[in-house]
């Protein structure tokens, strides 16, 4: 197979010695698509014989926008064939996957709108490897009989720790001071130090405003209190009383939070109601010289409005781990000439431990779909309200 062919990337184990129907598995590599051999990721292309019944083809599960299936294979190898596509769009997904895949795993680098979803002829479940699922049209998927799932409980500590890291960098200007030293700039005397560190601020006594008090927002609140922040939050979906348990203050409008906060950090999902939650209008409601952090979803912030606010000094500094367009390129962004800005590549969730746990949980959800019924067997189906009950299925 041409390794440069992005439309049909399947992997094959090195020392494959098992057999199917009396033939070596190597003899079963002869299936082809458009003249190119197909290499399933798993150890057997078909299910073994069922008593008093015919052979059953294994369901095909595709990792749409990645190529490493090493964590998923031990969980799925006995019930499915797993293939990877390493695609950036549905145009790069092989026709076999579009026609035959009944399940899909996907990260955040590919988008599936209604038109994209309609290209899949057999798809019944999509598991987003992560918590946010705004890159999937869940309503359209449900109406097409495709369940959409996410993994909401992973990486809470990592995102909260990353958020605090960014907050500390903005307050103490560590990122910029370290770059000065790396670039060879010498600080001689208090005047030069004052010039280099101008904008540094004391944390204790400042007010941190948290938009969205879910798992991550709560973890950030607990960490921020230790540093001496006065913590307030806005979350219209929570019942009263959580603020008492956490020892923080609740406000009931976004405007109140923005007006009271020295630093605003976003920890809410992205939906049709809060796209560009931070825009030119809401930025003007923030305290002059406030800080802004976003480790949630890129579409929450109007980057054009943020760029103007940074250049005008209305926002003292900002840190973004997520962006309106991803993969993010500073060179092609409206933010490229902005001062006092830290951008990271959607990495706040990452640690070796968290990603392993995340992938295991995503593969487990796919497994439940294969051996159970959709959507009843799924733990984190986000589009049940749109799912047509008449299209409930089981794979086995």
Rg (CA), the chain: 25
Q: How many helices (H) and strands (E) does the chain have?
A: 13, 16
CB 17 within 8 A of CB 24: yes
Could you give the CA distance from residue 370 to residue 77 in angstroms, rounded to a whole number? Answer: 12
**Neighbour-count burial for 40-67, b at 16+ CB within 10 Å, e otherwise:** bbbebbebeeeeeeeeeebbbbbbbbbe
What is the distance, to the nearest Å, from the Cα of residue 212 to the centroid of all Cα atoms in its chain? 17
Return the H-helix or E-strand segment holding 209: strand 207-211
Question: Would you please indicate which residues are annotated as catalytic (active-site) residues?
Answer: 297, 326, 346
- Which of 163, 132, 105, 166 has its CA nearest to residue 299? 132
- Which of 180, 172, 178, 228 has its CA nearest to residue 198? 172
Could you give the CA distance from residue 96 to residue 268 in angstroms, rounded to a whole number? Answer: 37
- Which of 304, 309, 266, 306 has its CA nearest to residue 289? 309
Could you give the CA distance from residue 246 to residue 242 in angstroms, rounded to a whole number? Answer: 6
Q: Residue 92 phi/psi, 5° resolution?
A: -95, 5
């Amino acid at each position: 197979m041409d390794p440069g062919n992005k439309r049909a990337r399947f992997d094959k184990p090195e020392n494959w010695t098992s057999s199917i129907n009396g033939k070596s598995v190597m003899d079963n590599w002869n299936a082809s698509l458009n003249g190119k051999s197909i290499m399933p990721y798993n150890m057997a292309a078909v299910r073994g014989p069922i008593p008093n019944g015919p052979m059953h083809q294994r369901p095909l599960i595709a990792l749409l926008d990645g190529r490493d299936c090493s964590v998923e294979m031990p969980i799925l190898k006995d019930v499915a064939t797993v293939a990877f596509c390493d695609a950036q769009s549905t145009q790069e997904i092989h026709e076999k996957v579009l026609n035959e895949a009944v399940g899909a795993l996907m990260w955040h680098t590919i988008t599936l709108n209604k038109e994209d979803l309609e290209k899949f002829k057999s798809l019944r479940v999509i598991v987003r490897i992560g918590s946010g699922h705004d890159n999937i049209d869940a309503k359209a998927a449900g109406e097409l009989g495709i369940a959409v799932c996410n993994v909401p409980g992973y990486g809470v500590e990592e995102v909260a720790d990353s958020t605090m890291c960014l907050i500390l960098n903005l307050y103490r200007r560590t990122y910029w001071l370290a770059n000065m030293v790396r670039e060879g700039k010498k600080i001689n005397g208090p005047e030069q130090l004052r010039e280099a560190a101008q904008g540094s601020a004391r944390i204790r006594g400042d007010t941190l405003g948290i938009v969205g008090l879910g798992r991550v927002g709560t973890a950030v609140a607990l960490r921020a209190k230790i540093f001496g922040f006065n913590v307030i939050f806005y979350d219209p979906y929570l019942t009263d009383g959580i603020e008492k348990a956490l020892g923080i203050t609740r406000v009931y409008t976004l405007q109140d939070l923005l007006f009271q906060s020295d630093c605003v950090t976003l920890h809410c999902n992205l939906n049709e109601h809060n796209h560009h939650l931070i825009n030119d209008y809401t930025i003007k409601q923030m305290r002059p010289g406030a800080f802004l952090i976003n480790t949630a979803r890129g579409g929450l912030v109007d980057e054009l409005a943020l760029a103007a606010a940074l250049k005008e000094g209305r926002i003292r500094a900002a840190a973004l781990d997520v962006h309106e367009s991803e993969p993010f390129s500073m060179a092609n962004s409206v933010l490229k000439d902005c001062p006092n800005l830290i951008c990271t590549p959607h990495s706040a969730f990452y640690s070796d431990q968290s990603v392993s746990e995340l992938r295991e949980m995503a593969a487990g959800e796919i497994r439940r779909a294969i051996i159970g019924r959709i959507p009843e067997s799924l733990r984190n189906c986000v589009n049940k309200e749109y799912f047509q009950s008449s299209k409930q299925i089981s794979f086995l």
